[in-house]
Structure 1
Amino acid sequence: MRNLRITLAFRGCAYHGTQVQKNALTVTEVFQDALEKVLGVREDIKNCSRLDAGVHANQFDLNIKTQSAIPCDGLLRGLNACLTGDMAVLAVREVPEDFHARYSCLGKEYLYKVHNAPIRDPFGAGLVCEYPFPLDEGTLHRAAQAFVGRHDFAAFCSAGSSVEDTVRTIHSFSVCREGEMVLFTVAGDGFLYNMVRILVGTLLDVAAGKIPVEALPEIIASRDRVRAGKTAPACGLYLNRVFYQLPLEDDAP
């Protein structure tokens, strides 16, 4: 029995998240269909993460255990021939038997894209969050440092989450500008339900003058979702990297 780690990239616009659902098209279903065409059997899939509808991925890892003898490069070519244009397999690798895409993960990095211009980009529809008002990326970067470190992020978790432990460690949080695009990049050991989108939404509320920068530590300490900012739209969010070894920077597809 072989254990294979498969790395995907996908545009999430057409999908209702990653988990298989009865009445909606999902990333896992589409990938599993392609995998079945190549292998001739419907293998069980272990995903690295659960993403919401409309969220994208520059790196999304999963693993399968299979008796197929197809070489990794042949499987990569076969899968890409069966997948639609909004999804691609970046790599297929043999890994130890105990590797699990979710439980072996040491951390993740998310990227959030904000198109910051008075006129929306029609070619970015579904791929970026539109924000027409001025943003000072330097101020936002400094404000984002309030989230770095180990904190209880209960104030930045959407209602409905069943997670009891809301303490997470944010390793880094940067905000930078590339032309009209403002990029929020946050890496940590784990994230709560909608946590990144609420962190970004809170920073956008700081930019709008709705939340004072100095109030961020108090909001974290309050554990009160009402005190944090809005939830930024799913369209701007990308799972950017998934880390499986230390140092984190060395693990890329």
Structure 2
Amino acid sequence: EQNPFVIPTVVDDTEKLKRSITWANAFWVSSGVPALVLFSIGAIAATVGNPSWFVWTMSIIIGFLQSFAYAEIAGLFPNKSGGASVYGAIAWIRYGKILAPISVWCNWFGWSPVVAIGTGLSAGYILSMFDSNSLVKTWQFKILSLDFIKTDLSLRIDSTFFIAAILMLIVFAVQHRGILSAARIQMIFAISSLLPLIILGIIPLFMGKVHSKNFKPFVPLMRDTITKNITTGSWDRAGITLFSGGMFIAGWSTYAFETA
């Protein structure tokens, strides 16, 4: 009987996955990941302060080095799909068969909020084109009051919900047609969304619009214990903890820290 923990070096062609995309298609599929930076770039800048650019630099370097490890692991499973969830399942199966599927389920369950957050943000961008007093922005249906948690907090359905749901169904329809079709459509979205960001990031470098004073002092923020105002901190224990927290948040956007 074959040992399930021994990974064969040669896999029969009949067991391999069908290669329907090229490396270029794979590049365009993964090009959607940089947009995750938009989810947390503002929060990190507001939390960490001037060193936030260094947070992103370090986080990207970690993700770049980590990609080599995942590429090698992926090469061990040419007949399986599922990415990091599969690798985790293989690692856990020796400790219990029930742990392997739980590992797979937890990985994708952990990523499911990305769909809600992403479509919700997209719906917000779409609604920003309408006047603040228009019906499409003011209409809402309250389902449950959550005042016991926070004042004026409630569970409700509004235009954002319906637009996000439509976007989610569109994404599902695109992916249901296959990876090749999804890669081609993703290429269009990637170019249309990332190109403006690249232009906005590069043009200031050539026009001298980058001011070094905005990066100083290179210390994290802190809350004044007396005035309760946000002010310049220092690289003490609290400052390092705050910087590490920024690294933790950035890790979700740059290299998916929960898969490490």
Larger RCO: 1 or 2 (CA < 8 Å, sep 6+) = 2
Which structure has the larger Rg over C-alpha atoms? 2
Q: Shared fold by TM > 0.5?
A: no
TM-score calculated relative to the size of structure 2: 0.21
TM-score calculated relative to the size of structure 1: 0.22
Q: Which has the higher helix share?
A: 2
